[in-house]
């Protein structure tokens, strides 16, 4: 049985709104980050809710925070820098509420995937590395109208999914980022940035690659 909660955490610059879906006998904790807040990204984005649902199918408690300036979350957009600090607060809350013994998984879509890579590096440096990452439509390289994303290295078992027809983050950007890391990417033919009519493939890919 799933318990759904909306919680407000005390972050560095105000409240952080988080949607928590807990379950009995959980096998892990999954933190899922949403796309760019200045371009309509929220915790209720369809790719984000698909990721969260998939992790619940894998036995995880899920947490979907709203980035600063979205919904009930306070603070101003900071291009991923302060957002990383906010996610550290969410991670700490999850550890305290659900127990330090559960593995933590990180997932993100677009801008959220970029922030998740930053969070993963911070956790690894602190000696509390995430168990695994799932990145979808990862913001990397120069994105027209936005900025250049210097997306960092991720573990070799990271699941990376991208749309072949992504009009926001060109597939070439992600391929260039992954090449030096020797990181495999799963490309969904015909998929745009928001994976219209192909959300079910994200779920299927994660299930197939999980074990």
Instruction: Give the residue extent of every domain in the chain.
Output: 2-210
Strand pairing of 2-11 and 186-188?
Answer: unpaired
Helix (H) or strand (E) holding 105: strand 104-109
Residue 1, pLDDT above cutoff 70: no
Residue 48, pLDDT above cutoff 90: yes
Pair of tokens at residue 110: 């677009």
Check residues 100 and 207 and name the one with the higher pLDDT: 207
CB atoms within 10 A of CB 203: 14
Query: Which residues are bridge partners to 95 per DSSP?
Result: none
Check residues 1 and 184 and name the one with the higher pLDDT: 184
**Which residue in 67, 76, 134, 143 sits closest to 105, CA to CA?**
134
What would the mean pLDDT of 172-179 be, rounded to a whole number? 97
Residue 147, pLDDT above cutoff 90: no
Q: What is the pLDDT of residue 3?
A: 81
Pick left, alpha or beta for residue 167 (phi over 0 → left; psi -120 to 50 → alpha; otherwise beta).
alpha
**Which residue in 148, 149, 51, 157 sits closest to 109, CA to CA?**
51
Q: Which of 34-43, 113-122, 141-150 has the lowest mean pLDDT?
A: 141-150
Residue 146, pLDDT above cutoff 80: no
Q: How far apart are CA 108 and CA 30, in angstroms?
A: 10
Q: Is the pTM of this model over 0.85?
A: yes
Q: How far apart are CA 14 and CA 3, in angstroms?
A: 25
Q: Which of 10-19, 95-104, 167-176, 183-192 has the lowest mean pLDDT?
A: 95-104
What would the mean pLDDT of 75-100 be, rounded to a whole number? 96
Q: pLDDT > 70: what percent of the chain? A: 99
Mean pLDDT of the chain: 96
Pick left, alpha or beta for residue 88 (phi over 0 → left; psi -120 to 50 → alpha; otherwise beta).
alpha
The dotted CATH code for 2-210 is: 3.40.50.1820
Q: Would you say 49 and 5 are in contact if contact means Cβ atoms under 8 Å apart?
A: no
Q: Which of 29-33, 42-46, 140-144, 191-195 has the lowest mean pLDDT?
A: 140-144
Residue 112, pLDDT above cutoff 70: yes
Check residues 211 and 185 and name the one with the higher pLDDT: 185
């Amino acid at each position: 049985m799933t318990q759904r909660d909306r919680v407000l955490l005390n972050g560095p610059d105000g409240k952080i709104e988080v949607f928590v879906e807990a379950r009995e006998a959980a096998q892990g904790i999954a933190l899922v980050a949403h796309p760019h807040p200045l371009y309509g990204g929220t915790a209720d984005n369809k790719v984000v809710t698909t990721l969260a649902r998939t992790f619940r199918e894998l036995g995880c408690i899920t947490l979907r925070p709203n980035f600063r300036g979205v919904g009930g979350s306070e603070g101003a957009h900071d291009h991923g820098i302060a957002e990383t600090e906010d996610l550290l607060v969410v991670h700490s809350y999850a550890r305290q509420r659900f127990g330090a013994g559960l593995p933590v998984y990180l997932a993100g879509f677009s801008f959220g995937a970029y922030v998740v890579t930053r969070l993963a590096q911070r956790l690894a440096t602190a000696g509390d590395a995430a168990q695994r990452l799932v990145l979808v439509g990862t913001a990397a390289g120069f994105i027209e109208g936005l900025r250049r994303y210097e997306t960092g290295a991720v573990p070799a078992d990271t699941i990376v999914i991208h749309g072949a027809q992504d009009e926001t983050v060109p597939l070439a950007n992600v391929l260039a980022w992954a090449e030096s890391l020797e990181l495999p990417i799963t490309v969904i033919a015909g998929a745009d940035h928001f994976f219209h009519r192909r959300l079910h493939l994200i779920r299927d890919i994660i299930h197939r690659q999980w074990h």
